[in-house]
Amino acid sequence: MRRVDALGVAGVEVGFPYSDSIADGPVIQTSFTRALERNLKVDEVFRTIAEVRRTVTMPLVAMVSFSIVTRIGVDRFFERASAAGFDGLIMADLSLEEAPRVAEQAAARHLRLIMLTAPTSSAERRERIARIATGFIYYMSVAGTTGERDRLPDDLIDNVRQLREIGRKPVVVGFGISRPEHVRSVCSVADGVIVGSAIVRRMLDVVDAGGDECAVADAVEACVRDLLTGLP
């Protein structure tokens, strides 16, 4: 996180490992499985963020299952997330019906609630999501799970334009972004891109090859630098 903060990225999404996530593809799920096998706890994530927050200025967003949040308690989790230094939350399994109340609880702790919408979402659903979102709208470029892809859907640009008109809020695109040319194409119309699997895969590759923490950081920095070359 310190390395990419120095590169000037707009923020970092921090995943809370979960055994039954609904939107993560095989790469991120593998990383979650390995973390859980090593008995990683929510407390440790919060402690790490609190430590890093002292020297990192970019926004930090928690990607966490709403099941974890409800088990701990919504208000308690949000209080701890805010105290640790998180700025926002993404909860892929948060229902649209529960979202307005949860958005209010998050706002009470000075946390933004980032809402996801898919290519298959109806116009009415997209409008509701856009109204509730208090950070940005996370547009999933494809329906399904995260993961690197060779090419992005043909309807992505038009869908992002429509979302920006509906919500009048920033629209950031995730799912499948893995190359500088993807970044260039998407950022011609969207406010940003989210890259997860491409970065996590490089981390796993370094670990599998016996690399240490410094080697992992080197790989992440190199990957992000490469992606940034695609910015218009």
Tell me, yes or no, if 24 is annotated catalytic: yes
Tell me, yes or no, if 79 is annotated catalytic: no
Residues 6 or more apart whose Cβ sits within 8 Å of residue 20: 65, 67
Give, rounded to a whole angstrom, the gap between the first and last alpha carbons of the chain: 24
Residue located via tokens 């799970």: 145
Residue located via tokens 């898919």: 118
3-state SS assignment for residue 143: coil
Give the DSSP letter string of 86-117. Answer: --EEE-TT--TTTHHHHHHHHHHTT-EEEEEE
> How far out from the chain centre does Cα 64 lie?
9
Active-site option among 24, 75, 124, 213: 24
Alpha-carbon span 55 to 77, nearest angstrom: 23
Alpha-carbon span 118 to 145, nearest angstrom: 11
Alpha-carbon span 49 to 70, nearest angstrom: 20
Active-site option among 5, 13, 155, 208: 13
Alpha-carbon span 232 to 229, nearest angstrom: 8
Which one-letter DSSP state was computed for residue 80? H
> What are the catalytic residues?
13, 24
